[in-house]
Amino acid sequence: MQSIESEWAAIYYKTPKAQQGNAYRQLLKKTAALEQQHPNAAEPIVWEAVIKATYADHQGAMTALSLVTEAKELLQKAIDINPQAMEGSAYVTLGTLYYMVPKWPVAFGDEDKAKTLLETALKINPKGIDSNYYYGNFLLSQDRTEEAKKHLENAANAPARPEQTFADNQLKAEAQRALNKIKETASDADNTVFASFSHAANVR
């Protein structure tokens, strides 16, 4: 399973965009073979869902919607088999899909379901990089900035797993970039308030 995760990370973070589609297709074949070898395991199913969800970015709207819907069904199947698999990764991915895809009638987007799923992932893995980063991202989308900061800080400061150092460090860096953006936004807001106050004082 580790080789699937490593290859996915290499495609997602290192492979040129134009080459990613074919790379994801090849990786899906490897994942399908792994599922045949381990028919009762949740982990290959989670990875098939993750790959399909990221592969959707390289498709037109209708195909992309079909892929993310397939990913949703796979993740639900994985949760039925073993909700604890990969430290709750199925809940993280499924929750992220629910808040990122359009709402009905276009797709299945549902912020309440997203919140429930991501919070379930945090209960399973409260110190995880993925669980904290994606919940923090969700909170940012809800304009709950202060709460988001706590989880993004948890993600940025969590130790990378020895077996997945590259992928974890990439996500830790994304968490730090999000924190920097929050800080910059707050600084810009402070400057705007100060400028407005100064202008008002000068008018008087």
Instruction: Examine the fold and report which residue of 125, 140, 158 is the final residue of a domain before the chain moves on.
Output: 125
Joined tokens for residue 107:
């797709």
Q: Which pLDDT belongs to residue 200?
A: 44
Residue 96 exposure: Cα atoms within 13 Å on the Cβ side: 23
Q: Strand, helix or coil at 109? A: strand
Domain check: are 84 and 138 in the same one? no
Distance of CA 176 to the CA centre of its chain: 15
Say if residue 99 is in the same domain as residue 39.
Answer: yes
Q: What pLDDT, on the 0 to 100 scale, is given for residue 163? A: 84
142 phi, psi to nearest 5 deg: -95, 10
Q: For 135-171, give the secondary structure using H, E and C.
A: HHHHHHHCCCHHHHHHHHHHHHHCCCCHHHHHHHHHH
**Domain enclosing residue 57, as ranges:** 1-125
Q: What is the pTM of this model?
A: 0.88
* Residue 68: burial class (beta carbons within 10 Å; 0-12, 13-18, 19+): buried
Give the whole-angstrom CA distance, residue 201 versus residue 204. Answer: 5
Nearest CA to 127 out of 146, 150, 111 is that of 150
Task: Say if 199 falls within a structural domain.
Answer: no
How many residues would you count in the chain? Answer: 204
Q: How many domains does the chain have?
A: 2
Domain boundary among 102, 125, 148: 125
How far apart CA 137 and CA 120 sit, in angstroms, is 15
Per DSSP, the three-state class of 117 is helix
**pLDDT value for 190:** 53
40 lies in some domain:
yes
Does 108 score more than 70 pLDDT?
Answer: yes
Same domain, 1 and 62: yes
Does the pLDDT value for residue 15 go beyond 50? Answer: yes
Q: Any idea what the CATH number is for the domain that residue 92 is in?
A: 1.25.40.10
Task: Determine the pLDDT at residue 128.
Answer: 96
Measured CA to CA, the distance from residue 165 to residue 17 in angstroms comes to 22
Q: Does residue 203 surpass a pLDDT of 70?
A: no
Residue 168 has pLDDT above 50, yes or no: yes
* 120 and 132 part of one domain: no
- C-alpha 159/C-alpha 168 separation (Å) is 8
What is the tens place of the pLDDT at every residue in 179-190?
999 999 877 655
**CA gap 48, 30 in Å, rounded:** 9
